Amino acid sequence: MSIHRLLVAKVVAETHDAHSIEFEVPAESAEQFTYKPGQFLTIRVPSDRTGSVARCYSLCSAPHDGGPLRVAVKRTANGYASNWLCDNATPGMEIDVLAPAGIFTPKSLDTDMLLFAGGSGVTPIMSILRSVLERGTGAVTLIYANRDAQSVIFASALAELCREHPDRLAVIHWLESVQGLPSAANLATLAAPYAGREVFVCGPGPFMDAVSEAMTSLGKGRREVHIEKFRSLPRNPFEVEQAQEEAEEKVAVAEAEDLPAPATDNGTVTVEIDGSTQELVWPAQKKLLEVMLEAGIDAPYSCREGACSACACRIVDGEVELAHNEVLDQEDLDDGIILACQSMRRTPSVRITYE
């Protein structure tokens, strides 16, 4: 995992309680910040009490336009990181981030889509929507729920996109101040004309539950509804990186003292990453991410607890078992997506790719 320090280029107040933050990526880091619509950044926020906290924020920028990386941050009650960023992020500031990650991404931009967003959940949805309209051929309908008209993030940008793509984009706003909380029945009624489309959902938990129930009532299988799941990171990956370095120093000392190495069963994993291929010994008692990090491979990760998908990769050959999984659904697993931080080898050899 590489930690990158990026310069804040611009901060925009999108609403009274939400800001978008643009980052300038140095030319030498451009390759590491190639991303797909719907992915997120993990950001380090300083803290007087703990040194720092880490939070994941979706990218609202679209990769096709070559513009700056941009995330949207909405204040949450008692949310230390979101409030700190809204209050303190200013142009010229440097912030530590991890490279883009996540699997909440469409396989094709030529597919008709039904998108659901609740509040700041519009952030990755905006990236997907713009990418489909400007680089694909699909039609898009967005059902977007907010407390009131003043809470609608990207209201003017969405209106402009509707004017530019009147035959391909429809935005349906649901305002709690006018219509009350959206129920599964309400959402099913709105979604019915578009039920045959691929579905992406992001927002507060109760909203996503209501959407899931609505789509089930319309005959959509769970594999046809993509849900972005954000949970609080159980570990701070920026602090874990420091602890990992200290652990590696201890290992080096042990090797220098000629202490016995742990036994292995001679299993192997072939790793394709960043244009290179390496074969590594994979002891059965170790998880895939540990094996790669110990070999010096700069594999992506964040929480190391199976809760964020930053370490997602694809298994090409062999079998693994996930010790824990909170983010991959059955469709992801059927497509061969695994979490490196939770993968235990179950066959003598395994081949995985990040390509």
pLDDT, tens digit (0-9, with 9 covering 90-100), for 60-105: 999 987 788 999 999 998 889 999 999 999 999 999 999 999 989 9
Q: Provide the pLDDT confidence category of residue 50 given band limits of 50, 70 and 90.
A: confident
Distance between CA atoms of residues 269 and 282, nearest Å: 6
In 131-246 the beta strands, taken as DSSP E runs, fall at 140-146, 169-175, 198-202, 225-227
Q: How far apart are CA 94 and CA 198, in angstroms?
A: 38
Burial of 327 (0-12, 13-18, 19+ CB in 10 A): buried
d(CA 2, CA 59) in angstroms, rounded, equals: 19
CA distance 89 to 62: 21
User: Residue 51's pLDDT is what?
Assistant: 84
Q: What is the pLDDT of residues 202-227, one digit of tens each?
A: 999 999 999 999 999 999 987 789 99
pLDDT at 59 exceeding the cut of 60: yes
Reply yes or no on whether the pLDDT at 32 is more than 50. Answer: yes
Q: What Cα–Cα distance (Å) separates residue 179 from each residue in 173, 196, 295, 328?
A: 10, 26, 56, 33
Residues in the chain: 355
Q: Each residue of 147-176: pLDDT tens digit?
A: 999 999 999 999 999 999 999 999 999 999
pLDDT on residue 252: 45
The pLDDT of 298-326, averaged and rounded, is 90
Averaged confidence pLDDT in the chain: 89
Q: How far apart, in whole angstroms, are the C-alpha atoms of residue 171 and residue 163? A: 11
Question: pLDDT grade, residue 241 (50/70/90)?
Answer: low
Sequence letter at residue 101: A
pLDDT for 5:
95
DSSP 183: P
pLDDT of residue 245: 46
Q: Is the pLDDT of residue 246 over 50?
A: no
